[in-house]
A = this chain, B = another copy of it.
Amino acid sequence: MSAETNTGTEHYIAVQQADFDVAQEYAALRNNNRCDGAVVFFTGLVREMNQGSAVSGLTLEHYPGMTEKALQQIVGDACARWPINRVRLIHRVGTLEISDQIVFVGVSSSHREAAFDACYYIMDYLKNRAPFWKKEVTGQGERWVEALDKDKQALNKWQTCDD
């Protein structure tokens, strides 16, 4: 249930049950990196309230093999679009509790614009293209989380004229 893949010298992508350590990920983006002036990262956490119900935990299912492939594609696309130097992307699967960390995306770049845009882009595409599914435990039992139109619409901001 764990897969670690390097897409180039400086990128790291992992799908794993284990938790991740943000300090360690930040250090990996920053250590021996004299050229980058900007690091942007995102972490997704399990929220107590979702789609109108109190949630006590969730299970993350994925499609092994395709997940890693989809994440590599998304990171590769971001690298082709912005001058970013290091990317670290970790997504957890399995059983998680409230406030647990779900996903980490960290990007370093010379300048902040590329780091912000690439990090945001990776999350928007992950939300729409990477085969993960959340099943929540609520007071009314278990339920699969519904995909939201707003996540699909979030991709519009990345459309360019030649798309």
Contact = CB atoms under 8 A, between A and B. Distances in A.
A47 B34 contact: yes
Nearest to A37: B47
A22 B39 CA distance: 11
Interface string A29-50: 0100111111111111111111
A104 to B, nearest CB: 10
Interface stretch (A9-17, A66-74, A110-118): A110-118
Contacts of A113: 154
A161 interface: no
Interface string A106-139: 0000101101100110010000000000000000
A23 interface: yes
Given A40-B40, A41-B41, A99 B30 contact: yes
A45 B32 CA distance: 12
Given A23-B23, A33-B99, A34-B98, A116 B42 contact: yes
9 contacts: A23-B23, A33-B45, A37-B44, A37-B45, A37-B46, A37-B47, A38-B45, A41-B41, A47-B110
